[in-house]
Chains A and B, each alone.
Chain A
Amino acid sequence: MTARRRDILLSLGFAALLALVPLVFSTRYIISQITVFFIWGLVVTQWNLVLGVAGIFSLAQMALFAIGAYGTAMLAYYVGLPLLAAMPVAALVTVAASLLIGFACLRLKGAYVALLTLAIAQVIYLIVVNDTACFTNPPSGCLPLFGGVRGFSRFGDLGFRELLGSKFYIGHYYVGLALLLAAQVFCIVLIRGPLGLAFRALRDNPGYAMSRGVGKLRYQLWVFGLSAFFTGLAGAFYAANFGVVGPIVFSVSMLLFLLAMIVVGGMGTVWGPLLGAALLMAADEGLREVGTFREIGLGLVLAVFVILLPRGIAGLARKTEAGGPASRAGTGRKQVADSSDAI
């Protein structure tokens, strides 16, 4: 069985198990928390593609997420689109935004990309927060075009309240599960497919890959754009799930939390980001009591993992796997096996 097949089957298996959860535990808290996990899972799987696979040091992922969320809220609020229609449109807007950012940044070297994408995210945030001129005047008071500090609320829902009544959150749960499944399968296909191969070639031997016509910029734009679709969709679903969108999605601690998930789980691996998301969300839950030290803990986790375990927990598992009898090959071969495992 190929790795690709195995991973897709695993995804379906996990999804089937998760689909059973609401039948067993119907506590609203648990179901809602897992739904939040689906949202962050969507973001980190895509960010991982960009960061760990395509090697684009983008810090604009949360800005893209925000574009998806704000796009959905604004389309619903101003245009009156039903959320089900607003969500895919917002995701496409996110793709367009990502391509613009990509064209501006991707010709640059790694460190420059990180700084510019961070600055772009900051500018989007500043535009949202600093715009105080009233665009409309709903009963709740003055509302700037981008919602200002307060953000948007009351822009409709996915219709599960009518359908399921007080159990509407179970509807959200399944939508989130379906989106995450689609996103994860997309990641697997990409990582274990020709595009993933092209990136491995680019990373392991840039000169050779270039000479074989593997154009880095073009591939990077593809990955950046495609992953932006799911990132935007994650934002859109965030808006639908919570019914509120505000500037908190731009916060540094959110960025830190998600980045830590990828680093802890294992950057560039198929399952690492989801593993990291689950672990950090569980840890966050457990540390709720010591809330004031959350940031310190997160920062330390991030730093300590990068210093001591740069390939994350999934990287640890890979090491033991690679040491097993299955991958016993000549030294020349071993390198190839290693690098294909690394992704």
Chain B
Amino acid sequence: MSLLEIQGLEAGYGAQAVLRDLSLEIVEGSFAALVGPNGHGKSTALRTVSGLVRARAGLIRLAGERIDRLRPDQIVAAGIVHVPQGDMLFPEMTVLENLRLGAYLPQAATHAANRLEEVFALLPKLAERKHQVASTLSGGERRMVGIGRGLMAGGRILMLDEPSLGLAPIVIDQIYDIVQRLAASGRTILVVEENAMRIAEMADRMHLMDNGRIAWSGPGSEFLSRPEILSAYLGG
């Protein structure tokens, strides 16, 4: 069954509409990718789901419950974990403090000790750097803190906004290796990615975004075998 369900979503900034009638379903336990060119609303879609941007129309359901009217903190409590673009770490806090803030809500705080061990097992580099201030980390390390902080929250769905952005190719490989391991562990994941071909090799399902709505959805394998899909929307 679908864990996250978006129907006819409209949102934007000021007078400008970014999402126009966006509809999308994410199946529980699947690894979904939202792809498309820059400026077509991929990030806005995630930001609207997590409540940072208000929806003007449409509805968002998580496990059947509507969440589109809730405050961001309530949406987090409902189980949406959003790792934002550009990490948005707390720059003057240590790695450990950043991770602890991921488990800020009471329901996450009770599992914080266990989850911290899991995060350090998955991202051993963070254990080495745990007392370092976030603003002094390298780009790849920052990304790992961002993901680790998201994992601390637990949650039901992990939304990652361009986890490869601004990283060197070898670091991108490491990050996607981590994402794939998370997906393999049965977690529901929604990744926003610019590089459609790369993510299609990993994702169960691809959603191609064009001008604020979904233009094409299908399995990653089909996306790879039919290059005309890509050129129709992105080659343009």
Contact = CB atoms under 8 A, between A and B. Distances in A.
Direct contact of A and B (CB under 8 A): yes
Interface of A: 331, 334-335, 338
B15 interface: yes
Nearest to A334: B15
Nearest to A332: B16
Contacts of B15: 331, 334-335, 338
Interface in B1-16: 15-16
Contacts of A331: 15-16
Contacts of A334: 15
Q: Which 6 pairs show the lowest CB-CB distances between chains A and B?
A: A335-B15, A334-B15, A331-B15, A331-B16, A335-B16, A338-B15
**Which secondary structure dominates chain A's binding surface?**
helix
Nearest to A335: B15
Contacts of B16: 331, 335
Contacts, number: 6
A334 B16 CA distance: 10
Nearest to B17: A331
A114 B41 CA distance: 37
6 contacts: A331-B15, A331-B16, A334-B15, A335-B15, A335-B16, A338-B15
A268 B157 CA distance: 46
A334 B14 CA distance: 12
A338 B16 CA distance: 13
A338 B15 CA distance: 11
A93 B116 CA distance: 66
Nearest to B14: A335
Contacts of A338: 15
A15 to B, nearest CB: 37
A33 B16 CA distance: 47
Nearest to A338: B15
A333 to B, nearest CB: 11
A66 B52 CA distance: 47
B16 to A, nearest CB: 7
A331 B18 CA distance: 12
B107 to A, nearest CB: 37
B11 to A, nearest CB: 15
B12 to A, nearest CB: 10
B74 to A, nearest CB: 26
A145 B15 CA distance: 57
A334 to B, nearest CB: 7
Interface string B66-88: 00000000000000000000000
A335 B15 CA distance: 8
A5 to B, nearest CB: 29
A239 to B, nearest CB: 46
A331 B15 CA distance: 8
A91 B15 CA distance: 44
Interface in B171-201: none
B162 to A, nearest CB: 21
Contacts of A335: 15-16
A335 B16 CA distance: 9
B40 to A, nearest CB: 16
